[in-house]
Structures are given as structure tokens and as C-alpha cells.
Amino acid sequence: EPEVTQTPSHQVTQMGQEVILRCVPISNHLYFYWYRQILGQKVEFLVSFYNNEISEKSEIFDDQFSVERPDGSNFTLKIRSTKLEDSAMYFCASSGGTGGVKLFFGSGTQLSVL
């Protein structure tokens, strides 16, 4: 069964460093998303991406964040200068195309900022 894959599963970084989280959405899906979840808290929407551009973003997605689809398969989230409060689980998701309106998640990247 097709699945969303994310790498790495864990990322440890120093405050102020840049990190790139990588995702391979399900092929033929058209919409791509990043969510984050701080331990013990709710799933929070960061950004959605469609037709090679951001379609919606939340207040969390400030200038420190950016997304890219550098080729036909990868979808990346970059945090330019990490803060302690960026420590969270980051989930990539995709939908649309053959997946219809259902949202499928990757297994997440646990980001720890020290």
C-alpha cells in the first residue's frame, strides 16, 4: 500500500541551526501538508502546498519556515534558525488525486532543539 515516507525519524540540532525535514508524499497525490505536534498537545497545521505553491499557512508558519518541492517526489520543510520551542514531532501528509479527500500521514520526524 502506498505511504508517505519521512526522513529522518529523529533529528537533534542546536538552537540557531537550520534543519531540513524531508518527505516523499504518495505519488499521484496533489496536496501536501506539514503539521506539528508538541508532546502532549494537539496536532497543529503549519502549511499546505498545491500546484507548486503554498495554498494556506498558519500563524506558526512564519519567516523562519519554508517549504519546497525540489523535484517530482520530495517535499521539504526548512526551519532556518531553530528555537527551543520548535521541538516537536513534525508530520508530513498528502491527499488528493487517487487518494481523494482523505489525508494520509507519514510517521513523523521528532525534532529536538537543544
Partner 1 sequence: RKEVEQDPGPFNVPEGATVAFNCTYSNSASQSFFWYRQDCRKEPKLLMSVYSSGNEDGRFTAQLNRASQYISLLIRDSKLSDSATYLCVVGNTGNQFYFGTGTSLTVIP
CB of 80 to partner 1, least distance (A): 25
The residue length of the chain stands at 114
Sign of CA dihedral 59, 88, 11, 73: negative
Stretch touching partner 1 by CB under 8 A, among 10-18, 61-69, 72-80, 105-113:
105-113
**Rg of the Cα atoms in the chain:** 13
Residue 36 and residue 44: Cα distance in Å, rounded? Answer: 5
Chain residues 28-67 in contact with partner 1, contact rule CB under 8 A: 30-31, 33, 42-43, 45, 48, 50, 55-56
Hunting for cell 502549511 — which residue is that?
A: 47
Provide the 8-state DSSP code for 76.
Answer: E
Nearer to partner 1, 49 or 65 (CB): 49
What is the binding site for partner 1 (CB under 8 A)? Answer: 30-31, 33, 42-43, 45, 48, 50, 55-56, 89, 91, 95-96, 101-108, 110
